[in-house]
Chain A
Amino acid sequence: MSTREPRKRIHLAAHFPGVNSTTVWADPRSGSQIDFSSFEHLARTAERGLFDFFFLAEGLRLREHAGRIHDLDVVGRPESITVLNALAAVTDRLGLAATVNATFNEPYELARRLASLDHLSAGRAAWNVVTSSDAFTGENFRRGGYLDRADRYTRAAEFLATARELWDSWTPEGTPKPFAHSGPQFRIDGEFTVPRSPQGHPVVIQAGDSPEGREFAASGADIVFTRHSTLEAGREFYADVKGRLARHGREPGDLKIMPGVTYVLGDTDADARERAAEIRAQQVSPQNAILALEQIWGRDLSGHDPDGPLPDVDPDPDSTLVQGRVRVADPVGTARKWRALSEAKGLSIRQTVIEATGRQSFVGSPETVAAALEEFVATDAADGFILVPHLTPGGLDDFVDRVVPLLQERGVFRTEYTGTTLRSHLGLPSPYERVEKA
């Protein structure tokens, strides 16, 4: 291999495996999704592995299926920012990222909570800005669900801009200056209660995939969390999003692209493949297979045998069966693909779902997985990865013990933390340097 250029360094994050259909709960090693000890274990493991950050997702209404609360997957989680403040006490360097919805919060309060986390963690806070327009979730909130889908990023962009005005409103010497913001979404004024925090602005993550979402990321996010986790799709996404940066006066290094990925390790590649198949069978129970089908078809398919053939009927395009979860974009096309797969390989409903959904991104011996991760980053399919283990809380242990040392040997991952803030781990400038540069 050529040694002309220094190798691109990999960034790593740990996604807590909680409310997620890939989290295996019917395994004797599966622990609590809510006890603080589970969060502590995973965060300490990530920090032992010198990860950039720890990541928590958010869902503000329990999912429902056919008007009833979905009961097949792990459910129940803590409020993110609160649990991250507690984790700040048991970790030292690890970044702490909370997913928080811009639709169901107000800039003053959320900016204050994020700045507080940045102070209490000495510069390790990050905010994954998600948007929602769905009236189903809105039923839990004062504002309800009246936001048009088209407005979700308008609000998110003005929300973020307003938050930055608040974070900037104290002088570096520690004097608050009054602020006033007046825009279509927010008209607020007063004084912010929190002094400038160690990072100035917490690190901003974006996780939407629409053109508006990508543009929002290009205009001001520090990290994109994406689902494009194959080499091909990753390169395409990477080129698209990085290509948008120049128009916003930003450089390619200013925005890190990190797909969410899963992995299975084994002593050999064959061993890992065997374990991967076992895990897929645990993830897709017979009941979950029918449910996955119903989510595509939008119909009650409870009468079907999970070990039998796929239904003959076509999906209902206008179904409201599934609530609290994004519905697949093209149900009819997806159903056609699943049918073809089932016929070609002679697969039952359950086998088809196992085959067609949620295949693990990286499967192999530690050497194989380390090489594949390096290839992704070296060939611009990603700048790093948000790892989603399938077990709580021990699911990251083997990766840290077996893969991280290999990445270090390859010279593509840090061997110690060189800075104290999340920005420093990511190689991102302070927001104030950026302003001065411009």
Chain B
Amino acid sequence: MYAQMVKSEGMKSLDEMSPEERAFQERIDRGEKIEPRDWMPEGYRKTLIRQIGQHAHSEIVGQLPEGNWITRAPTLERKAILLAKVQDEAGHGLYLYCAAETLGVSRDELLEKLHSGKMKYSSIFNYPTLTWADMGAVGWLVDGAAIMNQVPLQRTSYGPYSRAMIRICKEESFHQRQGYHIMMKLARGTEAQKRMAQDALNRFWYPSLMMFGPSDKDSVHSAQSMAWKIKMNTNDELRQKFVDQTVPQAEYLGLTVPDEGLRWNDEKGGYDFTEPDWSEFFEVIKGNGPCNKERLGARVQAWEGGAWVRDGLMAHAKKHAAAKLAAE
């Protein structure tokens, strides 16, 4: 998902826990929210910093593939919509950074870790957006997949994270709908526009499935995160739900999901489908996707290029505060 393969600390049974750890786990089991100043196990804190941080980074880096089309949107209305959507993603990143900071990590520290490659962002944003139809596919599929994961996270045990997710979810549905709307327009357009829509679906289908992370059988560390209620569903559960929801939407558009193995399975009440190529996923995570260098490069450049503005405003604020104090 926006946070993929977040490593979490070891898993203990209730008997192995210290009295504090046990009381903590029992609070979570009762559905209580954990707040910043409450006692928490170090592992919970560390795992959450990694997860919320990675989620925040994904929102921020996720602006780049869509920002790519703002100046070339086909109409003024589409441009205003895309701009609003990308601005929302900036907001999402900020809500999440704030939530992470309540755990005792600083904003600069998180950004430094992103820029040095010590923290990741979602694999999906390392794919290029080649045509306008990609703006449709990203909204429909990428935001669609994100929603699938974010809706249950509104109930996560950590208060500030849960509140950030509630805000984010309120804004996400516009993102998916504007994307699907673009796809509808293209799918009902000329032959060339239809081909463009199909091509975008072809390229974004498997990368979207990868967003949920590796298959449950290969996915480490999820038991502890689930006990802590910072992961609410398994990767495969969410992926299945996403496929079941999305296939009829593709059919409505008259587009074909690029999977020969896709079949409705009456028995399980869901689709059978082909897993993405996991070796590709691991390559992208390692930094070898089509756009990794470009994305991270753009972030570092923005950070370094903006340093004089941040410093200048801070110097101005200090000077003003001093002058005000002198006048009193």
- The answer to whether A and B assemble together is no
* Chain B residues within CB distance 8 Å of chain A: none
Chain A residues in the interface with B (C-beta under 8 A): none
